[in-house]
Structure 1
Amino acid sequence: MSGYRIPEMARKYIEYDMIQKHTELPHFPEFRTRLLYTFLSRHSTLSSYSELFSLVTSLVQMGLDTHDMVSITNQAKEMKAARSRQLKVLAGDYFSGRFYYLLSHAGHIDLIGIISQAICEANRLKINFYQLMKQLKLTADDYIKQTVEVRTQLYLSFAGFMEESVHSLWPEVLRLFTQCEVLLQEITKSEKAQQLRDSWGYWHIMQQASKEERRHMQAEELDPGKLRSIWLKYKVTVQLYQMLDSCMNQLQDKLHSLDSKELGRELLSIGEPIARYLSTPKALEEI
């Protein structure tokens, strides 16, 4: 994987002083992008486009993720908060616009249509997801499944480009890696005892908590001490570590069983940061 340089290529589009000074951006979709690059770079006819296709897909994903960070309401009166919100909207539009520009100039018009359809599907899934949240009809398992489904849409759109030997492998490995990515981010949220509805911990607690505890979780102003007590009672962080460990074991078993040992080694190397994370003393204690 020494030839992989998509994050460096993306920096010229992402790292603008104005954006970095006034607002935050989402994390670069590293696992999904490396996976796409790895699969495409092994393609008999598309290998020469592996960098371009991986780059534009990562930029579109950054655009979608940046728009997701924009607050639903526009009630922020303070100048700094208002500027941050405006820049997120503009940055998301800009990242998405680069995808059209790069592909059209390279003559890949058909791919623009394919990725555009995937964007529409991702947005449709998000709307359904948010409606379930609003109606309090979401389970903790559904939260993970639907988050993974939304995040894989752009990358799944390349299924038709994959060669026969890896055609069925692509969506399965993509979803397992993405689930590990989601669980890693949920662990970070849980360690801050995040109470918002966009966390697995919230929906896990809402499924099991008493009426009084659910009422507290839905209150506009929360008692941090009480919230932390509930978080610990339902072992949110512990269970997330265990879920990540289980998902990683499932992924490693799959990769070890591949007929192509070379591909298996490449994909295992992509998952090494997750394996190292799970081997830290803190993670081992929770597992």
Structure 2
Amino acid sequence: MNKLQITQMADKYMSHEMIRLHTELPEFPDGRISLLYTVLSHQPGAASQKDLLAIVTSLVQMGLDTHDMVENSPNPAKSGMIGMRAQQLKVLAGDYFSSRFYHLLSQAGQIETIRQLSEAVCNINRIKMNFYGRMKQMKLNAEEYLHFGAELKSGLFLSFTGFMSGLYERLWPELVERFSRCEVLLHELRKVEKMSSLDSSWGVWHILQEGTEEDRRILTDRREDQNLIKSMLHKYDVSEKLGALLRQSTGQLQTLLQRLQSDKLIRELQPLIEPFLQATGQQRVTALKELG
């Protein structure tokens, strides 16, 4: 099953006319879902459940990501009634996706999976509290920013470690973490390319850590000045540094894939890292070539 089919499969349970018409939803986590689905397909004890597990994980992740889009303190005068309604719908949409997750698993008698995913959600929320608290207090460096981002993306998927067997059980946590880190770096690279959400980007934390004292002071005082941030990102070669970090993490991910025991699985996973390779201008290196 490819990414499009997985997305369509999950969309059947997420589709709601009011949500579709009146609010924006986050990007579907097709990379991590495809990673989970593909690896589960090679686990004798879990292969028969892969469709259900991929769907419910999609629903939970979309619920979390939708709630993350809700502004903490929207300005009614600025957003107006339509804006406030959109915010309320994001909350309701996130809750709706979560309710679908519980319903599907309870119907299938997967009570233990409900518990595991619920515990993962609680842990993710604890990580978010710590992350946002550190950001607000300005007690965060660029590497910690990446680490927190990867933790938040990988949290749900780590709960499936128990579904793996043998070597896969040992490699799964590292595989998910490394893949999630690549996703975070790719997202940060796209922020710079599109010049969007710059005030909450890796580049800002990098400059606050590595910049001159004067630049750090100016950036701290003028965090909402997008033009200032753009000029500083260029001054400190943030795009090039992110590209180098993504190349490094992608290389580590490729090395990790070679430790898997199934050549077939390696071939099936290879397309999932293509976006990382393309973003950094690397030539395609297929698993077949590496395996000789």
Asked if Structure 1 and Structure 2 have the same fold, meaning a TM-score greater than 0.5 normalized by the shorter chain, the answer is: yes
Aligned to 1:203: 205
Deviation of residue 210 (structure 1)? 3.1
Instruction: Calculate the aligned-residue CA RMSD, in Å.
Output: 2.1
1:55-134 → structure 2 map (5 Å cutoff): 55-77=55-77, 78-134=80-136
CA distance in 1, matches of 2:189, 2:2: 30
CA distance in 1, matches of 2:186, 2:258: 22
Deviation of residue 251 (structure 1)? 1.1
Q: Deviation per CA, 1:166-192, whole angstroms, max 9, x where unpaired? A: 111111111111111111110111224
Deviation of residue 40 (structure 1)? 1.3
Deviation of residue 215 (structure 1)? 3.3
Deviation of residue 266 (structure 1)? 1.6
**Could you tell me which amino acid in structure 2 is paired with residue 87 of structure 1?**
L
Q: Secondary structure at the match of 1:24?
A: coil
Aligned CA distance change for structure 1 residues 110 and 130 (closer, same or farther; 3 Å): same
Deviation of residue 76 (structure 1)? 3.0
Aligned to 1:268: 270
Aligned CA distance change for structure 1 residues 190 and 4 (closer, same or farther; 3 Å): closer
CA distance in 2, matches of 1:17, 1:220: 41
Aligned to 1:41: 41
8 Å Cα contact 2:208-2:216 kept in structure 1 = yes
Aligned to 1:246: 248
CA distance in 2, matches of 1:280, 1:61: 30
Aligned to 1:144: 146
CA distance in 2, matches of 1:2, 1:221: 41
8 Å Cα contact 1:4-1:34 kept in structure 2 = no
Aligned to 1:284: none
CA distance in 2, matches of 1:149, 1:3: 23
Q: Deviation per CA, 1:252-275, whole angstroms, max 9, x where unpaired? A: 122234332222212212222332
Q: Deviation per CA, 1:225-272, whole angstroms, max 9, x where unpaired? A: 433221111111111111111111111122234332222212212222
CA distance in 1, matches of 2:21, 2:31: 26
Aligned to 2:181: 179
Alignment of 1:5 with 2:5, yes or no, is: yes
Aligned CA distance change for structure 1 residues 76 and 236 (closer, same or farther; 3 Å): farther
Aligned to 1:52: 52
CA distance in 1, matches of 2:155, 2:226: 36
Alignment of 1:232 with 2:241, yes or no, is: no
CA distance in 2, matches of 1:27, 1:43: 28
CA distance in 1, matches of 2:164, 2:26: 28
8 Å Cα contact 1:195-1:202 kept in structure 2 = no
Deviation of residue 278 (structure 1)? 3.0
Aligned to 2:16: 16
8 Å Cα contact 1:197-1:203 kept in structure 2 = no
| Equivalences, count | 281
Aligned CA distance change for structure 1 residues 181 and 59 (closer, same or farther; 3 Å): same
Deviation of residue 2 (structure 1)? 5.4
Identity rate, percent = 46
TM-score under structure 1 normalisation? 0.90
**What are structure 2's unaligned runs of at least 5 residues?**
284-292
8 Å Cα contact 2:3-2:30 kept in structure 1 = no
Aligned CA distance change for structure 1 residues 222 and 75 (closer, same or farther; 3 Å): closer
CA distance in 2, matches of 1:48, 1:185: 33
Aligned CA distance change for structure 1 residues 142 and 55 (closer, same or farther; 3 Å): same
TM-score under structure 2 normalisation? 0.89
Aligned to 2:286: none
**Could you tell me which amino acid in structure 2 is paired with residue 73 of structure 1?**
S
1:148-167 → structure 2 map (5 Å cutoff): 148-167=150-169
Q: Secondary structure at the match of 2:100?
A: helix
Aligned CA distance change for structure 1 residues 243 and 231 (closer, same or farther; 3 Å): same
